[in-house]
Amino acid sequence: MAKLFESIGKLGLALAIGGGVVNSALFNVDAGHRAVIFDRFRGVQEEVVGEGTHFLIPWVQKPIVFDCRSRPRNVPVITGSKDLQNVNITLRILFRPVTSQLPRIFTSIGEDYDERVLPSITTEVLKAVVARFDAGELITQRELVSRQVSEDLTERASTFGLILDDVSLTHLTFGKEFTEAVEMKQVAQQEAERARFVVEKAEQQKQAAIISAEGDSQAALLIANSLMEAGDGLVELRKLEAAEDIAFQLARSRNVTYLPSGQGTLLQLPQ
């Protein structure tokens, strides 16, 4: 029985050692990832390992796994415009490595290639592009600036084995002095617009007064000509029309009573 237990123990130990060896000879590459094999004797292998479970030589070979999916990164940059205005820009980049160039990236840059490459080339490209535009053009031609930055940065990143899926300007502000100057300019423009409106209004009122005076003058002239031609007949006609209008208004009022002229009228009042 003791020999049996000893045999079982040896078998279990052998299985454990064998399982450990097999486990150390396997490695997994998750979806969206790729691996580069580093060999202690031959260095970094040129072959890029795809997704799945793979074998390697324990202790001799080591897998370095890279994430090949698009990842975002925000890079803030402070630079100057063509008219020497300070500009604060934040660039959002979606990047991923070129799968076939992973061995070169690992050899020449390292696993933290995004930390070493993206901030430097983004700052370089942004400073070069923004220096071509005035502060006002950066606002009015933002789409052109963004497209130029994207083209230059994509070309620059390709030399390091990086693909930029998207480049966009997410933040664009200017220095305090320029912002205050823009606000003062807007206030001055609003004041100028208000003053022009007041002047136009006064001009319209002047024209209306002139037209009204010309109308009154023309009416007075017509009346004078009529009096010269018809004598007092026109005045008497206007008197009759006025009296008729007054009588009509009084007749509609309940508080007015007509009394015959020259005759006594007895008002029967209640006792």
pLDDT at site 231: 63
pLDDT at site 54: 87
Instruction: Identify the segments of the chain with pLDDT beneath 50.
Output: 268-269, 271
pLDDT at site 152: 94
pLDDT at site 159: 93
pLDDT at site 156: 94
pTM for this prediction: 0.60
Query: What are the tokens at 135?
Result: 């502060």
- Report DSSP letters for 174-237, one per residue: E-HHHHHHHHHHHHHHHHHHHHHHHHHHHHHHHHHHHHHHHHHHHHHHHHHHHHHHHTTHHHHH
CATH classification for the domain delimited by 71-174, as one of 3.30.479.30, 3.40.50.150, 3.40.800.10, 3.40.640.10: 3.30.479.30
pLDDT at site 205: 86
pLDDT at site 6: 63
pLDDT at site 150: 93
- Amino acid making up residue 97: P
pLDDT at site 161: 93
pLDDT at site 124: 93
Instruction: Give the number of residues written for the chain.
Output: 271
Sheet holding 71-80, edge to edge: 71-80, 86-97, 162-174
Residue 49 CB contacts under 8 Å (≥ 6 apart), including other chains: 29, 34, 35, 36, 37, 63
pLDDT at site 115: 92
CA–CA dist 270, 267 (Å, integer):
10
Query: What are the tokens at 257?
Result: 């009573």
Cβ atoms within 10 Å of 239's Cβ, excluding its own: 11
Burial of residue 102 (CB within 10 Å: 0-12, 13-18, 19+) is buried
pLDDT at site 230: 64
pLDDT digits (tens, 9 = 90+) for 60-111: 889 999 999 999 999 999 888 888 888 889 999 999 999 999 999 999 998 8
pLDDT at site 239: 76
Alpha carbon 38 to its chain centroid, in Å, reads: 47
Give CA angle at 185 (183, 190), nearest 5°. Answer: 95
User: Structural domain boundaries of the chain?
Assistant: 11-67, 71-174, 189-225
